[in-house]
Structure 1
Amino acid sequence: MEPQLDKIGLKVGLEIHQQLATNKKLFCGCQPLELEEYPVKFSRKLRLAKSELGKYDPAALFESSKSKQIQYYANPKSSCLVEHDDEPPHKLDQNAKDTALIIASALNSDIFDESYVMRKIVIDGSNTSGFQRTMLVSQGGYIEVDDTKVGVQTICLEEDAAKLLKDTENIREYALDRLGIPLVEIALEPVSGSPAFVKKIALTLGRLLRVTRRVTRGIGSIRQDVNVSVTGGGIVEVKGVQQLDQLEKVILYEAKRQHGLQLIAQKIEKMDLDTLSKNQSVDLTSYFTSCKSKVIQKSIKDRAAIRALGIKNFAGMFGYEPYEGIRLGKELGQQVRFFGIGGIFHSDELPNYGIEQNDVEGIRELLKLQPHDGFFIIAGAAEKLEFALDAVINRIKNAKSGVPAETRVATQTGETVFLRPRPGSSRMYPETDIPPILVSKEEFEFAQKNIPKSWDDTITELQKKYGLNLQLAEQIFDSDYMELFESICTKYQNPNFVASALCSTITNLQRQGLDASLLKPEHIEETFDLLSSEKISKESVEIIFEGMMSQKIKTPGEFAQSQSSFGDMELEKFLDELIQGNLDVIQKQGARSSSILMGMAMKSLRGKISGEKISKALESKIAKILEK
C-alpha cells in the first residue's frame, strides 16, 4: 500500500548546494585539489558553546553528546593555516563573489548591496573551527519549470565542509582538501506536486547552474537537501541526495514514512507516555549471563551495561507497520546508532536473535508487566547508555505527535535514516574576522551582462556543433563530463562515440556496482589519446573504463602496452585456427557464418585489435573458402 500524495498534503522544498569552479578557496589562496597524500595530521575535540543569546543549539547539543575525537589530514598543496583554524580568513575570493551574483541575477533574485558573513555552528567535525562561514547574497526570485514559477527564498555564498574519510565509535576522520571550497546555496520555496515534478525542478536548476560554465562538475560537486512535510507534521530535512533518480525515491519514502508515523500517533495518542523516565529502567546485565543471544553475549564480553524499560499498554506498537518497512521500532533503532550502539531489542520482535521465550517471560516478570504491556532492551557503554536511553524515551514520547522535525540522511536505496535534531535559530552569529561585503555598481552590472543563455539554447548548439541527436546532447550536457567531452573532441573526431562512452558506457558500468569515482578525468583523456593514435581499438575504451572502475587496471597506458604485442601475423594465425575448427558451420551457414565466427573471435580478441579489422579479415577468408 502507498499513501495518496494529494491527500496527505505533501510539500517539498529543495536546497541546492553547488561547488563553484574557482581556482582558489573562498577565504584563502589554496587550490581546491582532491589529493591522496596527507603529510600533515592533527586532532581536535570540539566542544559545545552557548550562542550570544545564552542558548544551546539542539543539533550541536546532540553532536556533542557523542564525545568523538576528530582527526584531520591535510596537504599543504590544498590547505593552509586558515583551514587548520590557526589563522584568520583572508579576503573573500572575487571570482566566487562574481559567480554568486551572476547566478542570483539569472534567477531574478534581489541582490543585497551589503552582506555580512555569518558563522553557522557545526560541531560534527566537518569544520575545524566548529562553524561554517556563510553570507546571504540575495532573496526572492524564481525559476520557471513547465510554465510554473517556482519561487526562490534565498541565495547564499558559503564554504564547503571537509571530506569525511572514516567514522568509528570514538574517532571521526576528515581530509581538508574540500574544506573552504566556495559553494552557492539556493533555497527554493516549498511546492506541492509529484516527486517527478520536484525532480524536474532540480534538473532545471542544475542545468541553469551548468550553463554558466562557472560551476564544477563531478561526483559530490552538487548536493540536494530536501525539506519534506505532510499536513500536521514537522519539517524533515533530508541531506546528501546526490542523484536525481535518488531524489524521487527519497521523497516517496519520506511521504510514506511521515504519513505512517501519523497513523502510529493515532494509535497511541491516548496513552500516558509523559511519565516515562530512564529511572524506571532495570539493569539486566547479570540476568543475561546465561542468555544464548550472540549479541547479548558480545555486549557482556565488552563490559557493556544492559538495561530494559517497560511501557504500559504498548504491546504491538513497536512493530505496528502502517506501510511496509515503517515501524516505530525501526525509528528507535536509528536513534541509538549515533551513540555507537547497534540498536535495540523490543517486545514485538521477541523471542528472536537468540533471546528465547523463557528469557522474555523472565524480563516481563522483572519489569512487572502485563500481557498488553511492551518493553525494550538496550546495551552499551555506561557513559553512552544514558544519552541513548534519553534519546529513545524522548522519541517514544514524541511519537504521540506524529512527525518530529529532524534532520535525516539519504541512503543509496532511497530510504532515509536519522542524523540529528533540526538546528535552531541559535546556531548563527556574526563572523567577527570579516568586514561587511559590499556589492558595487560595477559588480552588479557585470553580473547582469553575464547572465548566460538558456540551457535549451545551449543544448541546441551542442547538437549542431557536434552532430548529436537531442537525447545524446541532453545526456552529455547533464553529465559530469561536459567540459571533458569538448576537450576530447578537439583531438578525437567522433563526438557521438565520445558522448556515448562518457554517458552510456560509464552509467552501465555503475549499474553493475562499479565505482565511477575511480575513473579520473585524466584517465579518460589518456584513453582517448591512445585511441586517437591508434594504440588501442574502440572496443578497448569500455575495457579500460571497466578495469579502472574495478581497480583491475592501474593506467590506460599500462593496458595499451599489454595489448600491443598482438599484430597482423597473430591475427592471421588466430583466424585460420578459428576457421579450421568451424568449417562445418561455414558449410551449413554460408556467408552468414561470418557473424557467428565474429562473435567467437571477439570473445578472445576484444580490446586487442579493432573489431572492424577482424571483421574484414574474417569475411575475406570465409569468402575464399566459399568460392572453392
Structure 2
Amino acid sequence: MSEIQIDKIGLLVGLEIHQQLATGAKLFCRCKPIESEEYPIKFSRKLRITSSELGEFDPSAIFEKSKEKTIVYYANPESSCLVEQDDEPPHDLDPNAKETVLIMSSALKSNIFNEIYVMRKLVIDGSNTSGFQRTMLVSMGGNLEVNGKKVGVQSICLEEDAAKLLQDLKDTREYSLDRLGIPLVEIALDPVSGTPEEIKNIALTLGRMLRATKRVGRGIGSIRQDVNVSIEGGGSVIEVKGVQKLDQLEKVIEYEAKRQHGLKIIAEKLRTLKIEKISKTQDVKDVSNIFKSCKSKIIQKSLSEGSSIKAMRIKGYAGMFGWEPYQGIRLGKQLGELVRFFGLGGLFHSDELPNYGIEESEIQEIRSILEIKPSDAFIILAGNERKLDTVIESIIKRIEDARNGIPAETRAATVTGETVFLRPRPGSSRMYPETDIPPIIVNNIEIEQARDKIPKSWEENLIALQNQYELNQQLSAQIFDSEYLDLFETICKDKRVSPNFVASTLCSTITNLERQGMDSELLRTTDILEAFSLVTEGKIAKESLEMIFESVMSGKSKTIMEAIKSNALNTMEDTELHKILDELVKSNLKMIEDQGLRSMGPLMGLAMKTLRGKVDGQKLNQLLEDKIKIKIDGK
C-alpha cells in the first residue's frame, strides 16, 4: 500500500453551503424556530414515491422506499403548526428571509431573477412530512474572492430546512418538527482544483461573509457543507452531505479523494480479470441449515429473529473484496456500507473468512454448495427474506459497477472525517413545480435596497470587535468564526465580566473538551448563560466553569446546578478559606523557611488540589502570597 498523492489525481471539489437564516420565523409560516423541550403532539406516516411530470421515478426515492420504514413525528405548537404537519397549505414567504437572500446574492455579485418560482424537491427519507422540500432559485452567477482569487458562484437558492432526526431504528425513523421549515440559504460554488486546506479556506471565507450579515443562525447544525468530489478519470461526481465543521471538511475531502482513487485502481485491476455476470437464480443459495450450530453471534442473532442466511457466488473475484490499494479502502467495505443502509447488520465475504465465529468446516460446505472454484469469491448475508431479495439485487449491481470505477452516489460525512454510503444520486425527476404558491416577484427597488445593505468585510468586522471588547486579533477572529458570537455579545452586556475571559472560555475551554470526545450539543445556550450569570454574581468561581461544562458535556450532569452540586463547587466562605490556607502554611513551614517566596508555586499547586473551582484563582494566589510573606517577615 502506498500513500496517495492528492495533487496528482485531478481532484475537483465543489462546495454547497447550507446556512440557516436568523429571521425569527419559519419560511412559510410565522412559527418561531426554537428547540422544544417537550412534544405533546405525535403522529406517524408511511411515505410513498410518486412519478415526475414525465412519469419517471427518482432513483434515490426508490432506494428510500425499499427500506419500508414508518416515520414518527414529534411536534410542539410553540415551534410548529399545521403547515409543518402538512395539514395546511403554506402561508406567504417570510419577507425577512427574502430580503436576507437578496443581500447575500448582491454581496456575491450574483444575478438576481425578477421572478422566483417555488419548486418541490422530492425527499422521502421522512425528513419532510410532505415528502418534498420547498426550494427556489433566487440568483445565478457571481463570485467569491478568496486570497485575491475569484471562485465562481453557480447558484443561490432559498429553501426550507428539514426536520431534526431524533433516532433511526430498524423499522421506524423519528423526527421532531422544531427545525422543519426554518429558512435556509443554499450557495453552490463552481468546482475548483486545490488541496483540502485550500478548499477549507474557501468555505471559511464564504462562512465569514454570511456571518458578517448578522442575519444567520449560529451553533451546531445551523451551517452545513455538502461537498461534490470527483477525480480525473473517475467518471462520477460524489456528493457528500452533512459536513458541519471546517476541520471535518478537510478530512472528508482527503478521505473521499483516497477512496475514489482506490476504487479507480480496483476497477483497473478488475478489468484485467476474467469475470462472469452474476445470476440471481444460479449463484445465490439459501444456506441457513449450514449455520444452525454456527458459533458466530451475529449469525445466531439473525436466525433467532427468523432471518434467512444466503450465500452468493461471484466468479473470478477471489481476493478482490479484501484487497486494499490504500489502507481502509476495500470493495468489501463498500458492500458492507450498502447493506447496512438497508437495515442489515453487514455481510461476510470469503477474503475475511474463517473469522467472526464462522469456521473452516462451514466455509467448505458453502464452497461445495455454490461450486466455488479457486478463482471465485462468495458473500454471506442474513436478513428478512423479502428485504434480502432487494439487497441482493443492489449488491449485484454494485459489484458489476465496480469494473467501471466509481458509482454515482450520495454519501454522508462521519464524525471522524470518513464517508459512508447514504443513497444513489438523485436524478432530474426529483424536482417539480410547487402548485400552492404563486411566483414571487422581485422588483428593482428591492434589489437596490439589498445592494445598499451589503455587510462590512470580515476584516472590518474584526477591527470593530477588537475595539469594542478590547480583544487581541487572534481572539477576535476565533470568536467571530465560532458559533458563539451572538452568545458572547449577550454575556458581555454585563460589564462585570471580562470579554477576554468569556471569549477564551467559549473558544478554547469548550473546544478542548470537544477534542477529548465530549458532546457540546449537551451544553445548551441557556446552560452557558446560567453558568456565566453565576460567575458574575459571585456564586461560583470562574475557574469552576471548565469542571461544570465537562460534567454536562460528558453526560454526568443534566443541568448546571446538578454539575455544581456533584462537584461541590459552591463558593467557599472566607473564614473557611483562611482556615484551609493557614493549615497549609503551617504544615509547610520548613519549605517556606528554605525557599521564601519561591515556595508559592508548589504551595499553590497543593492549594488547587483542594480548592480548584471553589475559589477565584487570583484571590487565592493573593491570599496565599500574603500569608507566606507574613511568615517570612515574622521569622
**What is the TM-score when the length of structure 1 is the normalising length?**
0.98
**Cα separation, partners in 2 of 1:559 and 1:398, compared to 1, 3 Å:** closer
Deviation, structure 1 residue 498 = 1.2
In 2, distance between residues paired with 1:498 and 1:52? 55
Please list, as runs of the form range in 1=range in 2, the aligned pairs for 1:207-218 lying within 5 A after superposition.
207-218=208-219
- Where does residue 528 of structure 1 map in the other structure? 532
| 1:498 matched to 2:502 | yes
Deviation, structure 1 residue 42 = 0.2
**Cα separation, partners in 2 of 1:230 and 1:78, compared to 1, 3 Å:** same
**3-state SS of the aligned residue for 1:290?**
coil
- Where does residue 511 of structure 2 map in the other structure? 507
- Specify which of 601, 606, 624 is matched with residue 595 of structure 1: 601
In 2, distance between residues paired with 1:469 and 1:405? 47
Please list, as runs of the form range in 1=range in 2, the aligned pairs for 1:128-147 lying within 5 A after superposition.
128-147=129-148
Choose 615-624 or 264-273, whichever is displaced more: 264-273
Deviation, structure 1 residue 203 = 0.1
- Where does residue 242 of structure 2 map in the other structure? 240
Deviation, structure 1 residue 474 = 0.4
| 1:26 matched to 2:32 | no
- Read off the aligned partner of 1:249 and give its amino acid letter: K
In the alignment, is the contact (CA less than 8 A) between 1:351 and 1:357 conserved in 2?
A: yes
Q: How far does the alpha carbon of each residue in 1:147-173 deviate from its partner, in whole angstroms, 9 at most, with x for none?
A: 110000000000000000010110000
| 1:320 matched to 2:323 | yes
- Read off the aligned partner of 1:530 and give its amino acid letter: L
Choose 618-627 or 231-240, whichever is displaced more: 618-627
| 1:404 matched to 2:390 | no
**Cα separation, partners in 2 of 1:317 and 1:611, compared to 1, 3 Å:** same
| 1:419 matched to 2:422 | yes
**Cα separation, partners in 2 of 1:162 and 1:559, compared to 1, 3 Å:** closer
In 2, distance between residues paired with 1:413 and 1:463? 34
In the alignment, is the contact (CA less than 8 A) between 1:274 and 1:397 conserved in 2?
A: no
**3-state SS of the aligned residue for 1:118?**
strand
**Cα separation, partners in 2 of 1:274 and 1:56, compared to 1, 3 Å:** farther
- Where does residue 398 of structure 2 map in the other structure? 395
Q: How far does the alpha carbon of each residue in 1:76-122 deviate from its partner, in whole angstroms, 9 at most, with x for none?
A: 11111100000100000000000000000000000000010000000
- Read off the aligned partner of 1:593 and give its amino acid letter: S
**Cα separation, partners in 2 of 1:573 and 1:251, compared to 1, 3 Å:** same
- Where does residue 158 of structure 1 map in the other structure? 159
In 2, distance between residues paired with 1:20 and 1:262? 40
**Cα separation, partners in 2 of 1:536 and 1:565, compared to 1, 3 Å:** closer
- Where does residue 172 of structure 2 map in the other structure? 171
- Where does residue 444 of structure 1 map in the other structure? 447
- Where does residue 80 of structure 2 map in the other structure? 79
Structure 1 gap ranges (5+): none
Q: How far does the alpha carbon of each residue in 1:478-510 deviate from its partner, in whole angstroms, 9 at most, with x for none?
A: 011112212222213421111111101111111
- Where does residue 187 of structure 2 map in the other structure? 186
- Read off the aligned partner of 2:307 and give its amino acid letter: A
In the alignment, is the contact (CA less than 8 A) between 1:273 and 1:397 conserved in 2?
A: no
Please list, as runs of the form range in 1=range in 2, the aligned pairs for 1:78-477 lying within 5 A after superposition.
78-233=79-234, 234-271=236-273, 275-280=277-282, 281-477=284-480
- Read off the aligned partner of 1:238 and give its amino acid letter: V
**3-state SS of the aligned residue for 1:120?**
strand
Deviation, structure 1 residue 575 = 1.0
In the alignment, is the contact (CA less than 8 A) between 2:20 and 2:216 conserved in 1?
A: yes
In 2, distance between residues paired with 1:286 and 1:519? 51
In the alignment, is the contact (CA less than 8 A) between 2:276 and 2:316 conserved in 1?
A: no
In the alignment, is the contact (CA less than 8 A) between 1:535 and 1:560 conserved in 2?
A: no
In 1, distance between residues paired with 2:61 and 2:347? 24
In the alignment, is the contact (CA less than 8 A) between 2:275 and 2:316 conserved in 1?
A: no
**Cα separation, partners in 2 of 1:558 and 1:164, compared to 1, 3 Å:** closer
**3-state SS of the aligned residue for 2:277?**
coil
Q: How far does the alpha carbon of each residue in 1:538-584 deviate from its partner, in whole angstroms, 9 at most, with x for none?
A: 21222232233234445445667865562111011111221222223
In 2, distance between residues paired with 1:564 and 1:318? 59
Identical columns (%)? 63
**3-state SS of the aligned residue for 2:25?**
coil
Choose 44-53 or 303-312, whichever is displaced more: 303-312
| 1:623 matched to 2:629 | yes
**Cα separation, partners in 2 of 1:397 and 1:565, compared to 1, 3 Å:** closer
Q: How far does the alpha carbon of each residue in 1:434-468 deviate from its partner, in whole angstroms, 9 at most, with x for none?
A: 00011022211111110001111111221122221
- Where does residue 571 of structure 1 map in the other structure? 577
In the alignment, is the contact (CA less than 8 A) between 2:229 and 2:239 conserved in 1?
A: yes
In 2, distance between residues paired with 1:450 and 1:236? 36
In 1, distance between residues paired with 2:78 and 2:449? 32
Please list, as runs of the form range in 1=range in 2, the aligned pairs for 1:602-621 lying within 5 A after superposition.
602-621=608-627
**What is the TM-score when the length of structure 2 is the normalising length?**
0.97
In 1, distance between residues paired with 2:114 and 2:279? 53
Q: How far does the alpha carbon of each residue in 1:268-317 deviate from its partner, in whole angstroms, 9 at most, with x for none?
A: 11446562132220110112222222222222221111111112221100
In 1, distance between residues paired with 2:302 and 2:526? 48
Number of aligned residue pairs:
628
In 2, distance between residues paired with 1:582 and 1:609? 21
In 1, distance between residues paired with 2:559 and 2:337? 41
In 1, distance between residues paired with 2:330 and 2:22? 43
In 2, distance between residues paired with 1:525 and 1:304? 51
- Read off the aligned partner of 1:529 and give its amino acid letter: S
Please list, as runs of the form range in 1=range in 2, the aligned pairs for 1:41-60 lying within 5 A after superposition.
41-60=42-61
Choose 338-347 or 414-423, whichever is displaced more: 338-347
- Read off the aligned partner of 1:123 and give its amino acid letter: I
**3-state SS of the aligned residue for 2:292?**
helix
Q: How far does the alpha carbon of each residue in 1:185-211 deviate from its partner, in whole angstroms, 9 at most, with x for none?
A: 000000001000000000000000000
In the alignment, is the contact (CA less than 8 A) between 1:27 and 1:91 conserved in 2?
A: yes
- Where does residue 37 of structure 1 map in the other structure? 38
Deviation, structure 1 residue 537 = 2.1
In 2, distance between residues paired with 1:471 and 1:404? 43
**Cα separation, partners in 2 of 1:558 and 1:378, compared to 1, 3 Å:** closer
CA RMSD in angstroms comes to: 1.5
Deviation, structure 1 residue 252 = 0.5
In 1, distance between residues paired with 2:537 and 2:314? 74
